[in-house]
Chains A and B, each alone.
Chain A
Amino acid sequence: TQLLEQSPQFLSIQEGENLTVYCNSSSVFSSLQWYRQEPGEGPVLLVTVVTGGEVKKLKRLTFQFGDARKDSSLHITAAQPGDTGLYLCAGVQGSGYALNFGKGTSLLVTP
């Protein structure tokens, strides 16, 4: 059973468009992380959010943690081909050590 559901599963857009990826759960998380994974490599951490309602910005990427700490979103403004990759959300429950991953959103940005 997947604790975190990501949508959409696949996304193909043109350079310059905006997009939002969602990560939803019925469970509460003490922290939630977003990763990007490129072919042949391991996931690379983009951001960690820990406070309900928190918003973090990383250049053209905006991350939001839901007020109830059950969901999160990633918004990309003016997507570029370099944004292509698999975007993964992962949450930690309580003081646990395991990351619970969503299945990911595969993003393709074409010039």
Chain B
Amino acid sequence: KAGVTQTPRYLIKTRGQQVTLSCSPISGHRSVSWYQQTPGQGLQFLFEYFSETQRNKGNFPGRFSGRQFSNSRSEMNVSTLELGDSALYLCASSFSGGGSDTQYFGPGTRLTVL
């Protein structure tokens, strides 16, 4: 069974631009979560989607948004990029989400904002 895939793996953008990251979950998984990982803050929860609906959102500004498609693939978008948005963005998939459900992480997208 193929794991979680994320594209692109690396991305370089400049301040003010916007970016879209993609995540393909494991086949059969309907929950997709996004996390931001930085050296200073560690992993922080962005949002979680299940069956195309956002069920939970972390404490991030409105510049961070996401969506999920009917095939469970998910995208996240960051508009008006700031230097502090440089991070590793990870997505994780699971059957139904929630603490009792094992989450499988992708390798991440490394975003650098110049």
A contacts, CB < 8 Å to B: 2, 29-31, 33, 35, 40-45, 48, 50, 88, 90-92, 95-104
Contact = CB atoms under 8 A, between A and B. Distances in A.
A88 B43 contact: yes
A98 B58 contact: yes
B4 A99 contact: no
A88 B28 CA distance: 26
B42 A2 contact: yes
A30 B99 CA distance: 7
Interface of B: 4, 31, 33, 35, 41-45, 48, 50, 55-56, 58, 90, 92, 97-100, 102-108
Contact of B100 (A31, A41, A44, A45): A31
A99 B107 contact: no
B103 A45 contact: yes
Given A41-B108, A48-B100, 19 more contacts: A2-B42, A41-B107, A43-B43, A43-B90, A44-B105, A45-B103, A45-B104, A88-B42, A96-B98, A97-B56, A97-B97, A98-B33, A98-B56, A98-B58, A99-B33, A99-B92, A101-B43, A101-B45, A103-B42
Contacts of A41: 107-108
B77 to A, nearest CB: 19
B33 A43 contact: no
B90 A42 contact: yes
Contacts of A43: 43, 90, 105
